């Protein structure tokens, strides 16, 4: 939605925003079999015709694609890797367009309530109006900017997930007894609970700060990335401690802790892996330093 809202033409917004806001599911197609972190290396092509574009290629791991009515699909309009990703544009593609097919939902480690699949495009014809923003490359810039929102959402999800997992560990620690008393009485258990609380509080504070700045219109690229990295890594540490607090029960599918451990793992991977975001943060720090040196 945010790429459409910020980068769409008036006609594109008028057509799609009410539909998506009204509940029609949309998906975001950037990743491909041969390119994930290296998104500029994507191979899906959009070739100009007399009255629009023809798309060919495969998108991989696309969340919601099994249910989506529309996809924002990144495709290359030039064979050369032009600077600043000028070879990539974003296209609004109805998922029922002839030539679009959706693969089988992939089996994943966790988050089984969320579905991902391939989107396969074979000679998919779309009109001129499908090019987001109406200009080559423009919509892609907005699509990339929308990733800041995605990173804040993943950071927020990871923070809340850690909080929910910690609540569960507190409950378990007060109910489970060892050596004749609740395990919550043991200081080494308390340390795991306290360390988790401290880290969750730090992530909640980052969330309040970065979302306030985003609402005020500030460029939050670096801070959104920092929040996503911290919150997702923190969530991984918290769910690991929660399994430990549960002891043997933490390893059993019958209890919540096992699912927390599996579900949380993806936060460090999608919307930019930890490593890619670390590189991005460092790049901006160094660029800024050079600018002021
Ligand atoms: C459940 C799920 C949902 C997803 N939903 C979507 C979606 O809706 N839309 C979409 O477009 N994509 C989606 N993705 C794809 C996701 O964004 C990518 O998987 C992710 O960006 C990583 O890309 P990759 O899998 O190709 O890993 P790779 O890029 O192959 O990376 C593999 C490893 O190498 C590291 N690495 C790569 N390059 C460097 C480097 N230069 N320096 C240091 N380390 C590096 C990475 O950090 C990672 O650890 C989803 C994936 C999953 C699993």
For residue 58, what pLDDT band results from cuts at 50, 70 and 90? very high
Across 122-132, average pLDDT: 96
Q: For residue range 8-25, list pLDDT tens digits in order.
A: 999 999 999 999 999 999
Residues 6+ apart with CB under 8 A from 179: none
Q: Tell me how far apart the terminal alpha carbons of the chain are, to the nearest angstrom.
A: 39
Cα of 33 vs centre of ligand 1, distance in Å, is 10
Tell which residue, 241, 233, 111, has the closest CA to residue 172: 241
Is 271 annotated in the active site?
yes
Please state the φ and ψ torsions of residue 44, each to the nearest 5 degrees. -60, 135
Model confidence over 82-113: pLDDT tens digits?
A: 877 888 999 999 999 999 999 999 999 999 99
Q: Which of 30, 32, 61 has most ligand 1 atoms within 8 Å of CB, for mutation?
A: 61
Say what the pLDDT of residue 125 is: 98
Torsion sign across C-alpha atoms 281, 284, 288, 293? positive
Q: Tell which atom from ligand 1 comes closest to the C-alpha of 29.
A: 11
**Measured between alpha carbons, how far is 192 from 165 in angstroms, rounded to an integer?**
12
CATH topology of domain 2-134: Butyryl-CoA Dehydrogenase, subunit A; domain 2 (2.40.110)
What is the Cα–Cα distance from 147 to 151, expressed in whole angstroms?
Answer: 6
CA of 124 to the centre of ligand 1 (A): 26
Our CA dihedral for 202, 208, 210, 215, rounded to 10 degrees, sits at 180
- Please identify, by atom number, the ligand 1 atom nearest to the C-alpha of residue 37: 29
Over range 163-173, report the average pLDDT. 98
142-292 CATH fold: Butyryl-CoA Dehydrogenase, subunit A; domain 3 (1.20.140)
The mean pLDDT value of the chain amounts to 95
**Apex 214 CA angle, 209 and 215, nearest 5:** 100
**Beta strand spans in the chain (E):** 26-29, 45-48, 52-63, 70-76, 88-94, 100-102, 116-127, 177-178, 181-182
Is the confidence at residue 293, as pLDDT, over 70? no
**From ligand 1's centre to the CA of 35, what distance in Å?**
8
- CB of 28 sitting under 6 A from ligand 1: yes
Q: What ranges make up the beta strands (E) of 11-140?
A: 26-29, 45-48, 52-63, 70-76, 88-94, 100-102, 116-127
129: Cβ below 6 Å to ligand 1?
A: no
Please, are residues 8 and 129 in contact by the beta-carbon 8 Å criterion?
Answer: no
**Two domains, one topology: 2-134 and 142-292:** no
Task: Measure 2 CA to ligand 1 centroid, in angstroms.
Answer: 21
Q: In the chain, where are the structural domains located?
A: 2-134, 142-292
């Amino acid at each position: 939605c945010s790429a459409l809202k910020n980068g769409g033409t008036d006609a594109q917004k008028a057509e799609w925003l009410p539909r998506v806001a009204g509940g029609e599911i949309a998906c975001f197609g950037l990743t491909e079999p041969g390119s994930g972190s290296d998104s500029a290396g994507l191979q899906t092509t959009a070739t100009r015709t007399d009255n629009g574009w023809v798309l060919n290629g495969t998108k991989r791991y696309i969340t919601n694609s099994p249910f989506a009515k529309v996809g924002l699909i990144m495709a290359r309009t030039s064979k050369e890797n032009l600077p600043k990703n000028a070879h990539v544009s974003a296209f609004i593609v109805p998922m029922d367009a002839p030539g679009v097919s959706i693969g089988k939902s992939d089996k994943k480690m966790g988050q089984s309530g969320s579905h991902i699949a391939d989107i396969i495009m074979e000679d998919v014809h779309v009109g001129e109006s499908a090019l987001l923003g109406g200009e080559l490359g423009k919509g892609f810039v907005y699509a990339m900017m929308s990733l800041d929102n995605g990173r804040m959402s993943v950071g927020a999800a990871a923070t809340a997930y850690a909080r929910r997992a910690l609540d569960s560990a507190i409950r378990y620690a007060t109910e489970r007894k060892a050596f004749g008393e609740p395990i919550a009485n043991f200081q080494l258990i308390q340390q795991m609970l306290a360390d988790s609380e401290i880290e969750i509080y730090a992530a909640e504070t980052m969330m309040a700060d970065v979302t306030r700045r985003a609402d005020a219109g500030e460029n939050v690229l670096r801070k959104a990335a920092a929040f996503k990295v911290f919150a997702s890594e923190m969530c991984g540490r918290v769910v690991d401690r929660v399994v430990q607090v549960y002891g043997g029960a933490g390893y059993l599918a019958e209890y919540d802790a096992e699912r927390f451990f599996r579900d949380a793992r993806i936060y460090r991977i999608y919307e930019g892996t930890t490593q890619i975001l670390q590189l991005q943060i460092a790049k901006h720090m160094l660029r800024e330093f050079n600018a002021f040196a």
